[in-house]
Amino acid sequence: MKRLLSSAGALAGLIGLLVVLNGGAPTWAEDGVTDKEVIIGAGMDLTGAVANWGVNIKAGMEAVFDRVNDAGGVHGRKIKLIAYDHVYQPPKAVTNAKRLVERDKVFVMMGHLGTPTTKAIKEYLEEKQVPNIFPATLASMWTTSGKWHVGDLASYADQTWLIIDYLVNERKIKKIASFYQDDEYGLDGHLAGKARLKQYELAYVAEVDYKRADIDFSSQAAKLKESGAEAVIVQAVYREPPRLAEQCHAIGYYPQFIGPGPIVVNKTIELGGKHVEGLIGVEVYPLPTDPGPFLDLYRADMKKYFPGLPPDTTNLYGYQKAALFVEALQRTGRNLTRDSLLKSIESIKDWDPGWGLKYSYGGDNRRGMSRVGRLVMVKNGKWTKMSQWIELKEGGRR
C-alpha cells in the first residue's frame, strides 16, 4: 500500500515537472500553436524532377519567416516551417502529409508544392480539417474546392486563356498544338485551352502528352512537326521546354513555344540556351528584377538569409506566399485558430505588399490576387516583359 502511494506521488511529481518544463502555458486548442510558436508544414520536391522549384520556394518562404522571427515573430509567436521531400511523387506526398499532421501536429499546410502531389493529399487534409494555405500549384481546383483550400494567384487555366487569346488575336495563329504533362497539372491548362479554342471555333492540331520525369521528347517533337502547328503550348515545368525545343529544332521544326508560369524560371534558360530564345511565358506576379519596395525587401532578405540563391521567380513565388501568410497572421491576432486564420484571410481586400499588384479575398474568391497576368519572353538569355499587366478572364473552371 505504501509502495503504491509513493509511486502515485512520483507520478504526480513527474506530471508537475512536465507542466513546468512546458512553461506552464495554457494549452491552445489548436495543433501546432503554442504561446511562443506556430508550426506549419509543407511537402516540397527537394530532390526530384522539379527540385529547382521546391528548394527555392522553401527558401523564399523561410526568408520571410526568418526576418519576421528575428524581429520577434507575429504576436509573440515565431513561425516554424517543417518541410519534407516528396520528390514530386503523389504517394510520398501522402505519407509526408500524415507525418506532418499526425506526428508533427502542424497548424496548417502552407505552400505545398505540385498539382498532382497536392491533389493527392486534398481529401486527407479535408478529413483532418487542416487548412491547405497557398499551395504552390495554380491549378484552378484550388479556387473552387471549398473551405479548406486557399489559393493565391491566377490559375493555369486563366493563364492558358491569356495564351490562346494572344496567339489567336495578336499573332493570328490558328494552328496551335498542346504539349502537356499527363497529370492534374498539365491537364488544367490543356483542357482550359481546349475550351477557349472552341469559343474561337478552333481546336488543337495536335495533343501530345508526356509523363512526369520523362527526359526524351523526340517522338513528341515528331508528332508536333507533322501536325504543322505554328505554336506549341507547353503545359510543362522547366526541364521539358528546353529539351522539347532542342529536339524540335533537331528535326528542323521551329514553332512558337509558349507556356504558363512554371516555365518562367531562369533554369529554363540555363538549360535551353539558344534553343529557348523567343520562348514566351505567362507571369502572374512581377519579375524578381522589377522595382518596388516589396521587391527591394525581397532582394535584401534573400541576400541576407540565402546568399547562395540568386533572386529567381521560384523563390519570389515562395516569398510572396509567406508574406501573404504573415499578413493573415497579423490580422488574426493572439487568438490563433484554424477558423480565425481562414476568417482573416477572407478579410484581405486590395492588399498590396508593395509591388503594385493587389490580393483580394471574399465571397467565393479564393484566388487572392486579382486575376492578372502578363507575357514575358526570353530575349538575349533573359526573361523580358512583353506586355503590361492585364486582367485575366476566368479560365474554364473544372
Residues of this chain that bind other proteins (CB under 8 A): 46-49, 51-52, 55, 182, 208-211, 213-216, 218-220, 222-223, 225-226, 238-239, 243, 246-247, 249-252, 267, 270-271, 273, 275
Shortest spacing between CB 377 and other proteins, in angstroms: 20
Which residues are CB-contacts of 254 (< 8 A; sequence separation ≥ 6)?
248
User: How remote is the C-alpha of 185 from its chain's centroid?
Assistant: 11
Shortest spacing between CB 205 and other proteins, in angstroms: 16
Shortest spacing between CB 283 and other proteins, in angstroms: 21
* Nearest CB to other proteins, comparing residues 266 and 320: 266
* Nearest CB to other proteins, comparing residues 56 and 132: 56
Shortest spacing between CB 270 and other proteins, in angstroms: 6
* Nearest CB to other proteins, comparing residues 32 and 311: 311
* Nearest CB to other proteins, comparing residues 31 and 182: 182
Shortest spacing between CB 10 and other proteins, in angstroms: 45
* Nearest CB to other proteins, comparing residues 156 and 238: 238
Which of 392, 339, 342 has its CA nearest to residue 369? 392
Measured at the CA of 165, the angle between CA 144 and CA 262, to 5 degrees, comes to: 55
Rounded CA gap, 322 and 108, in Å?
13
Rounded CA gap, 384 and 216, in Å?
28
* Nearest CB to other proteins, comparing residues 271 and 297: 271
- Residue 28 phi/psi, 5-degree rounding, is -85, 145
* Nearest CB to other proteins, comparing residues 252 and 363: 252
CB burial of residue 4 (10 Å; 0-12, 13-18, 19+) = exposed
Shortest spacing between CB 45 and other proteins, in angstroms: 8
From the CB of residue 218, how many other CB atoms can be counted at a distance below 10 Å? 14
| Joined grid coordinates for residue 14 | 513527474
Between the CA of residue 210 and those of 58, 213, 218, what are the distances in Å? 27, 9, 11
Give kind and range of the element (H or E) at residue 367.
strand 365-369
Shortest spacing between CB 281 and other proteins, in angstroms: 18
